[in-house]
Structure 1
Amino acid sequence: MTVRIAQFVHASNDVVDEAFLRDFPEVEAAKANSLESLADALDGAEILHVYNSAFKPAFARLVRERGRALKWIQFTTVGIEIGLNAGLPEGVWVTNSGDVSQPVLASHAMALMLGVMRGFRRYEPLRAQRVWARQAMSLHMIAPERARMVILGMGRIGQDIARKAKAFDMEVICVTRAPAPAVPEIDRVVPREKVGEVLPTADVVMVAMPLDSGTEGFLSAERIARMKETAVLVNISRGKVVDEAALARALAEGRISGAGLDAFAQEPLSATSPLWDLPNVLMTPHVGGNGGRESWRRMSELVRDNTRRYLSGAPLKHVVRTPDGTLQGFGNP
């Protein structure tokens, strides 16, 4: 019996190659890059590989209508909230990428933090003009050593950021629903309702929360206003966790020092957004989880492992929704 996999993935996460098919002779793959080709790929498919942002309403409707044989959806992303909102098919197992992107995403978060604290964004226009500006640069440089980092969220990404922050001798506080630190590198935890007590003391605020009904707008205009002028904000999670308009105003008015952003409320970011032109903002286009060949290798290992489990009837790894619609293991504390 042949098991069909329908794929709608970015090339960087396409792990069903010739070697995969040799190792799984009972599997066939149908790759799609449009709604039209997806409709054909879903015909008889038991498995769907897909990424979160693909699940727009029309896409979700097509999957529900044509994916009648689906039993398992493997997301190549950690987030599945767009799929949940658009409507995933009933009666299927849903898994996400788990910790595949965790190490590189945490590294990206630290790179954004360091880039802002060390003034990289501010120097780029001067470099283009061949201006040395050594004295002018020093006015905007902050040392990470012994700085206080407040991480919003204590899931896998938050924990890995905490470990990396300790390499810079930073104090680490996590704002979380959990009662105790998840890893020894976290110095203390603070409940979400008391976030206002630690924001005024933070040198770095790191957003690592998932987007859900309890976190949308969590870093509100009021909470941003509590941050000190020398503070840096980094968001590698979801744009809507932060009041983006309030953040842009605070940055433009110098009420916080700078921001490193890899996630935005609207993606792609609107050409009219003030964030494009601010000299104290370092931005990347939601690529923090991309790690080249190493990320591909980690994704391949996960998909191969889960495929073996599916074919043998063993429990899948990184289940985020069960066939009865129960969400589990999804999101950060």
Structure 2
Amino acid sequence: MRNATPPPTRGGDVVPGLHPGRRPRRGRRVLVALLAVVLVLLLGAAGVVAWLASSIGGDIGRIPDAFRGLDASARPAGFGGTTFLLVGTDTRADEPTTGTDAAAGVDAGSQRSDVIMLGTIAPDGHTASVVSIPRDSWVDIPGRGMNKINAAYAYGGAPLLIATVEELTGVRVDHFGVVDFAGFTSLVDSVGGIDVTVAQATSNAGVDFAAGPNHLDGAQALAYVRQRYDLPGGDLSRAARQQNAIKALLDRVQDTARTDPAALYAFATSVGDAVSVDDSLSNTGLVQLALQARDLRAGNMAFVTAPVSGLGREGAQSVVYLDRGRGADLWAAVRNGTVPAYADRYPSDALSDTPS
């Protein structure tokens, strides 16, 4: 059946910064939306937990009413850990669209989400997982029927995307965060760049990536995570690159924490400038999360992509069909804190050391 592209709607969750009169520029897509969780994890790793969290918490943009209208009795039960739903969206401006650097007046529901990830900190605070959900996944959107999962954000902003993800996964979303490409580049630059290993030589947006190790500044890292053409898995390969960049950023910041606390503080303040999170995450909540995750290291994080059974078309749309059977195992692993064991069982779903 043919599904029309959903019209922009005002979702009510105001994220500062978009300019409604501007047309989207091709490729200027919002990227790597796990940075709200990165903040929490790195605060703990730095050993400056409560002070740093409380000192920069007021600089982080807040998204009002991200959980508006969700029926608490119908939502999945919590499991003792903390789960963030993190998105990137199609940007409409060169200026920041999230965080405190953004201008006022953005309606997040006017865009489709380009990156969708679930970041979960286990109850013990020692392990965490990052699960990418392909943006073209063909799912049931509550009240709207079957469509690509990224249409949920365009239809109803954060509340509808949260409801869609919770229905798909059975995982309760505790917090919601958004970041744009401008924020991503500034974060990478704030730590002096990131190091990634590339499986085969490629190029994108005027940047050449050699097979093997590559050191990337913010602009080069943006080209790396944005590439999808000339990669064997298209959007799936791009999702792996996004996860790889997150892992590299975590590694870099943890190294910085050991050698240059001042640089770590600069990174933390740049997170405050680039990232927006839901307004239920108070400064006190940031401190509590940082304390919970103070022993977490990048090596204890599992990165996987929701399992896919195939690609196809629904009307004029190219879509991704999720493997519901294996997916049930994955979502149970998220709830149980056993995603590393899942990744061992299904290595094709896990982030490799050298993604395409």
Q: Whose strand proportion is higher, 1 or 2?
A: 2
Q: TM-score range by the shorter chain?
A: under 0.3
Q: State the TM-score, normalized to the length of structure 2.
A: 0.25
Q: State the TM-score, normalized to the length of structure 1.
A: 0.27
